[in-house]
Amino acid sequence: MTAPLLVVDSLTRRFGGLVAASDVSFTVAPGEIFGIIGPNGAGKTTLFNVIAGHYRPTAGRVSFEGKDISGHAADEVGRRGIARTFQAVHIFKNETVRANLHRAAVLARRHNPLTWLSRRPHATPDLEGTAAFLGLDMLLDNVAGSLAYGLQKTVGVGLAMMVGPKLMLMDEPAAGLNPSEKIAAAALIRRLRDERGISVLLVEHDMPLVMGICDRILVLNQGMPIALGTPADVKSDKSVIDAYLGEDYEFA
Ligand SMILES: Nc1ncnc2c1ncn2[C@@H]1O[C@H](COP(=O)(O)OP(=O)(O)O)[C@@H](O)[C@H]1O
Ligand SMILES: [Mg+2]
C-alpha cells in the first residue's frame, strides 16, 4: 500500500466549552477524492481550518507526506503543497483573471522563496496552461468580478492551482451553482485528480455530487465521526441516515 498523503490523527478542536471537532481520524491517499459531509455545525470547516493552519488543534496531529504539520502557519502549510478554495468566492474582483492568477503565484512564493524553491522545485504552474485547463483562457483579460458566479468560483480554483498543490481542500465547491455549473464543477474536480494528479479533500452538501465523485467519505455529526467508507457504505449506514440523510433521502 502506498503511504497516505494526509493523515489526520485523533484531532480535537475546542472553542471554549464547545468541542467543534472531537477525536477525528482519517487519511487521504495520493490520487484520492475524499469527501466530508454532515449537518451544519458538524465541524467540517473547523477541520479544514485546522488542516490548513488557520487554527491549532487542541489535541491530535495532522501529517502531510509523513511530516507533522500540526499547528504550522497557513503559508507554511501552503508551501508544503496544500491549497484551499472557499465556500464564498475569494478572488480579486476588480482585477483581471490574469492578474488574479499572477497574484496567487506571487503570494505563494512571498515568504522565504529559497525554502520554497528547494522544497518544491517543480512548482509554479504555468499561468496560460492553468487558464486553458480551467476553460478561462478566452477570459484572461476580463475583470474577474464581471464574470458569471460559476466562472468566479472557477477563478477561485485557479488561484489554488497556482500554488502548485498536491492536495486541494475545497469547501462547498458546488454551493451557489446552477445544475449545469454543478456538473461542470464535478467534472473539474475529477480532472484535477486525473490530469493534474492533485488529490482532493472536499466538503459538500450536494449529495449526488459527493456520492458521484468521492472515493471515500467521512460523515461528521456534532464534531464526531459517525461513519467512514465508500459512497455505497455511507448511503446505507443507519446512523448516517438518522443524523443527516433522512429515511426518504433519494440519491439522484
Ligand atoms: N472560531 C470559532 N469560535 C467559536 N466557535 C466556532 C468557531 N468556528 C466554529 N465554531 C463552532 O464550531 C462548530 C462547528 O462549526 P463548523 O466547523 O463551521 O461546522 P460546519 O462547517 O460543519 O457547518 C459550530 O458550533 C460553530 O459555531
Ligand atoms: Mg462549514
How do the domains of the chain map onto residue ranges?
6-245
Q: pLDDT tens-digit profile of 183-229?
A: 999 999 999 999 999 999 999 999 999 999 999 999 999 999 999 99
In sequence order, what are the beta bridge partners of 68? 63
Residue ranges in the chain assigned as alpha helix (H): 44-51, 74-80, 97-109, 113-119, 127-134, 149-161, 179-196, 207-213, 231-235, 238-240
149-150-156 Cα angle (round to 5): 90
The CATH homologous superfamily of the domain defined by 6-245: P-loop containing nucleotide triphosphate hydrolases (3.40.50.300)
Distance 191 CA to ligand 2 centre (A): 24
Neighbours of ion ligand 2 (CB under 5 A): 44-45
Maximum alpha-carbon separation in the chain: 55
Q: What is the mean pLDDT of the chain?
A: 90
Measured CA to CA, the distance from residue 228 to residue 23 in angstroms comes to: 14
Question: Which ligand 1 atom sits nearest the alpha carbon of residue 220?
Answer: 22
Would you put residue 146 in left (φ > 0), alpha (ψ -120 to 50) or beta? Answer: alpha
Confidence of residue 110 (pLDDT cuts 50, 70, 90): low
